[in-house]
Each structure stands twice: as C-alpha cells, then as structure tokens.
Amino acid sequence: MSLITLFIAGLTDSYNPCSIGVLLVSLTILMSLGKKNSIALFGISYLTTIFLTYFLIGLGFLKAFHLFGVHGFFGYAAGAVLIIVGLAHFAPISWSKIPIVGWFNRCYMPQIKAHFDRGVFVGGIILGFLIGLCTVPCAGGIYLGAIGLLAARVSFWQGFLGIFIFNLGFILPLSLIFFISSREKVLKKIQKINAKLSGVSHYIIPIITVIMGIILILIGKM
C-alpha cells in the first residue's frame, strides 16, 4: 500500500460514533459548565491521546503479524475475527448474547462529566485513552486490514511509517470537527449531522470490516 493510500484509508476509518460522539458530548458539557476557556486544553489532550493510543495499538498488531506471520493460521484467524465482528454490527441485538462478540459489537460511552472532575486536561487524556481502545472493536476493521497488508508486504519499520501516516489521516477529520465545533452555534448543527450520519455508518463500517477480513484470509492463502 502506498502512503497516499494509507492516508486515505485513515481518513475513511476516522468516522466512527465512539470518538466523534464523545468529542461532541464533551464540548457540550464544557460549554454548559462555563469552561469555554478550557476547550482548547481539552482538545489537545483528547486528540493527542487518541492518536498515540491508536498508533501504539497498531504497532502492537504489526509486531504480532510479523511475529506470527500473516500467511497461514494467524492470517486466517484475524480475517475470521473481522468478518464475525462486521456481521455482528448488522444485527447487534442477536449477536450481543455471545459474550466476546457482544463486547466487540459495543461502542462504549464513558462517564464523561465524572472524568472532568479530575481536571479538563486529565479528563481529556482519560477519555482519549478509553476511546482509543474502544475504536478498535467499534470501527477498526480498516485499520487491522491495512496493518495486515503492511505486514505481508513491507518490513516492520516501513510498516511503522505506514501506520503513522494512517493515523495522521485518522486524526485529521476529528481535529477539524473539534475546531469547527468549538463554537456553540456550530456545535448544535454538527450534532444533528452526526446523528444522521451515524445511521449510515451502521451499514458502511460493517461492510468494510467484512471486506478487510476476506482480504486477510486471501493473503493467508498466498
């Protein structure tokens, strides 16, 4: 995969209800608490922590793929997991009864206001870390697929650069949404748009996840 392709893949992976939803709710809470001057501080800590968490998770998967290999059982297993997770998103109620699959199928919304009691900056770090972890099962199919392709074709350090570029694409839209939504009037409009797009993403993300799972299985056969 070229760096441009990885950047575009990161842009595609950036929209998910977890990270954007928490960002918008957090901004609403900060404005209601009269902490508008602390919004920039929150944005820096929240976005930076999401970027670092998601990036480090990606490196962990890349190392695992290089260690165990994408060709063979590990590639099949990773592909199968993505396909199951993708299908589970189409019928969340039915799949939620299966413990492990149900966990992958959930988007966790942390107690946002409670974390702000520790300070806006620290609250941003905690929320960014939790959302960084949540994003992988919630909408990380594109990410895992891209990592699998990198592991199959390039060295670890080339993959390192590829994952970094992917995460730049991943964090850019979220940063733009934060910048635009920092104004109270615009925030309400963005919330309405996000509510409409969430319904669309409910179908698009699972489809992409299943496709990436199939690609990993095909790579495993090579």
Q: Under a CB-based contact definition with an 8 Å cutoff, are residues 50 and 171 in contact?
A: yes
Residue 48 contacts by C-beta under 8 Å, 6 or more apart in sequence?
A: 128
Residue 91 and residue 143 in contact, taking contact as beta carbons nearer than 8 Å: no
Q: Which residue has the higher pLDDT, 140 or 28?
A: 28
- The answer to which of 95-109, 151-165, 190-204 has the lowest mean pLDDT is 95-109
pLDDT in the model for residue 163 = 95
According to the per-residue pLDDT averaged within each range, which of 34-43, 55-64, 194-203 is highest? Answer: 55-64
Residues 40-53 have a mean pLDDT of 92
Could you tell me the pLDDT band of residue 12, with boundaries at 50, 70 and 90? Answer: confident
**Average pLDDT over every residue of 110-137:** 78
200 burial class (0-12, 13-18, 19+ CB within 10 angstroms)?
Answer: exposed
| Amino acid 1: pLDDT | 63
Tokens encoding 143: 């990410």
Model pTM score: 0.79
Q: Helices (DSSP H) in the chain: which residue ranges?
A: 3-13, 17-32, 39-68, 73-90, 92-95, 99-104, 112-116, 120-139, 141-153, 156-181, 184-221
- What's the Rg (C-alpha) of the chain? 18
Closest CA to 81 of 130, 148, 132: 148
Is the confidence at residue 145, as pLDDT, over 90?
A: no
Tokens of 163: 């994952």
Contacts of 34 (CB under 8 A, 6+ apart): none
The percentage of the chain sitting over the pLDDT mark of 90, rounded to a whole number, equals 16
**Please, what is the end-to-end C-alpha distance for the chain in angstroms?**
17
Burial 125-148 (b: 16+ CB within 10 A, else e): bbbbbbbbbbbbbbbbbbbbbbbb
